[in-house]
Structure 1
Amino acid sequence: MKIVIISECKAREMLVLEKILLHYPRAVVLQPTFSKNKKRRNWKGLLRRGLIKARYGKLKKALYSNKKLPEIVNRIPFEAQKINSEEGINFLKRLSPDLLITCRAPLLKEDVINIPSIASVNVHYGISPKYRGNDTLFWPLFHKDYDYIGGCLHHINKGVDTGNLLAEVYPALNKDDSETSIDIKTSELLGETIVKYLQKLETTHRIIPGVKQLSKGQNFKAVDRGIRQSLQLIFREIAGKQQIPNRQEKVVTHFEEESISIFA
């Protein structure tokens, strides 16, 4: 099975990629690259950027102790803005993937989504449909909506995280957890679960349709997470006022639903 992964390969997402590549070392990783934004920023923009950088620095340190991220043999840098262009579409067609996996990647146009012979699947940090879009582990933490802290696997369609669900993962929680520890726990579970999905595809030789999302939920945009919200969560964590309840790990899969033969 030919697998192509589109991912920015940040520290958190590398946990997922490492698990996939351990079992499928020949998978190709297309890494979107972005031109540096030279726009002048005001103090709010600089502070917001600093908070984002600090958060990802803390996450990287927790995972790799300031070491370089693991090397990926079949990594191909590709300009993000070109992925949905004719150039990107033709490039992906030449790779002829059976399965396309996204994990922190730009939104894809239908022409890209339809390239794989089996399916296009997204690894999403958040429980869809209630938490779609960006920062969807942050928002249930911020709102103390602990039942919806987790991630999911879903088919990719024209919407934002609206495709059929293949699995939902809910990491174990306790009072000492933080956004960083929850990021890591969720990544571990998502990586393990997508490997099980891939193995199921290989053993059944059938497309797994998953289950439809029954509501629209909310699509959170990157700009929705402002400085005030980020600082509020940080201060809560420092003061021990987040009050995260104990919860056992849970994974719900939809791999046993009626499937469609790949060879039909």
Structure 2
Amino acid sequence: MRLVIISMLGPADLYVLRHVLERWPTATILRPVDVRRPGTPPRRRRWHRLLTAPHLLARGWLRAQVRRRIDRYADRTTRAALLGEGPHAAMLPPHLEVPVWALRDGTFATRLADLAPDILLLVSAPLLPPEILAVPRRPTLNLHHGIAPAYRGEGCNYHALAHEDWEQLGITLHRATPGIDRGALYVQARIALDPGDDDATVMVKGARLAAREVVALLEAMQHGRMAGRRQPRGRLWRYDDWTLRSWIRRAWRRHVLKRNPPHLEERVTRWYAPENRLPARATRTSPGRDPIRSGPGSA
């Protein structure tokens, strides 16, 4: 099986990919890099921002600083827990770098076709156009950190923590489509939850769960096209949904009111079977109600 992987190669991504590469060592890894497209003029400074009210500028600056510190803590904790310490812990596997603009406008489709992939695996990859997704012989697989459709988009496990939506913390494997996390569901996996869990520990547990489920799904996809389950309507979360108010509210609940996550067992639901045996049947590894539902404020 020819496997091509597109990934930003963050700490959690590396952990998942190391397990994948143990099974498919000849897989090709493509890493998107954000570089300016040749012939594009440099971005001009937006002087009109100087006219923004001072309190709005201060709030935006403070929001960026707080988010940066949270991300650094999560990255450091995740890297130590998943990859270990030492100079060799975070070494990147052999990979090719591809400009993000080439992926987004479909100009890379011809070069991708030369690799003749059977399966394209996306792990923290940018949104791809139909020209890229149509290249592999089998459906493109996307790993999403969050439980879709209730939490689609960016920072989904953080938003689930902020809303104390404990049953929606985990990962989703679904078919990649031009929409954001809207493709047919293959796997929903809720992590085992403990009262001391935070952003970093949720990411660590999600990566460990994802490594196991990605390999299992790829093994199944080797034998043919898989049929998943169509997603119902949910909610799309974006980076701008993260606010200082939500962060302060969550910190107050956790450190002052002592409202910590409950003990929850891991739950994995799978919806994949060969397409000639439709409909795909859901299989669970632990009891629980159907995790497909809408999250807070869902449409």
TM over 0.5, yes or no? yes
**Among residues 128, 134, 139, which one is paired with 2:154 in the alignment?**
134
**What amino acid is aligned across from residue 8 of structure 1 in structure 2?**
M
**Among residues 63, 68, 72, which one is paired with 1:48 in the alignment?**
63
Contact 1:206–1:260, Cα closer than 8 Å, also in 2:
no
SS across alignment from 1:119:
coil
Equivalent residue for 1:10?
Answer: 10
**What amino acid is aligned across from residue 135 of structure 1 in structure 2?**
G
Equivalent residue for 1:206?
Answer: 224
Deviations 1:130-171 (A, max 9, x none): 111111101111111111111110001122111110101111
**What amino acid is aligned across from residue 91 of structure 1 in structure 2?**
R
**What amino acid is aligned across from residue 225 of structure 1 in structure 2?**
W
Equivalent residue for 1:179?
Answer: 199
**Among residues 160, 164, 188, which one is paired with 1:144 in the alignment?**
164
Q: Distance in 1 between matches of 2:10 and 2:157?
A: 16
Deviations 1:85-110 (A, max 9, x none): 34311221122211111111111111
Q: Distance in 2 between matches of 1:24 and 1:247?
A: 33
Q: Which range moved further: 27-36 or 227-236?
A: 227-236
Aligned length: 257
TM-score by length of 2: 0.78
**Among residues 186, 200, 223, which one is paired with 1:166 in the alignment?**
186
* Structure of higher CA gyration radius: 2
Deviations 1:50-102 (A, max 9, x none): 33332332233223347566333331111112113343112211222111111
State the shift of 1:113 in Å.
0.8
Over 3 Å counting, the alpha-carbon distance change for 1:44 and 1:31 in structure 2 is farther
- Listed as ranges, the matches of 1:48-127 within 5 Å are 48-65=63-80, 70-127=90-147
Deviations 1:191-225 (A, max 9, x none): 110100111223xx211111111x21001111111
Contact 2:8–2:123, Cα closer than 8 Å, also in 1:
yes
Matched, 1:217 2:221: no
Q: Which range moved further: 116-125 or 231-240?
A: 231-240
Contact 2:191–2:206, Cα closer than 8 Å, also in 1:
yes
SS across alignment from 1:55:
helix
Over 3 Å counting, the alpha-carbon distance change for 1:38 and 1:72 in structure 2 is farther
- Return 5+ residue gaps in structure 2 as ranges: 37-42, 50-56, 278-299
Over 3 Å counting, the alpha-carbon distance change for 1:86 and 1:250 in structure 2 is closer
Q: Percent identity?
A: 25
Contact 1:172–1:250, Cα closer than 8 Å, also in 2:
yes
Over 3 Å counting, the alpha-carbon distance change for 1:225 and 1:98 in structure 2 is same
**Among residues 240, 243, 248, which one is paired with 1:226 in the alignment?**
243
Q: Distance in 1 between matches of 2:131 and 2:248?
A: 40
Across the aligned residues of Structure 1 and Structure 2, the Cα RMSD in angstroms comes to 2.4
State the shift of 1:182 in Å.
0.7
Q: Distance in 2 between matches of 1:122 and 1:5?
A: 10
- Return 5+ residue gaps in structure 1 as ranges: none
**What amino acid is aligned across from residue 73 of structure 1 in structure 2?**
P
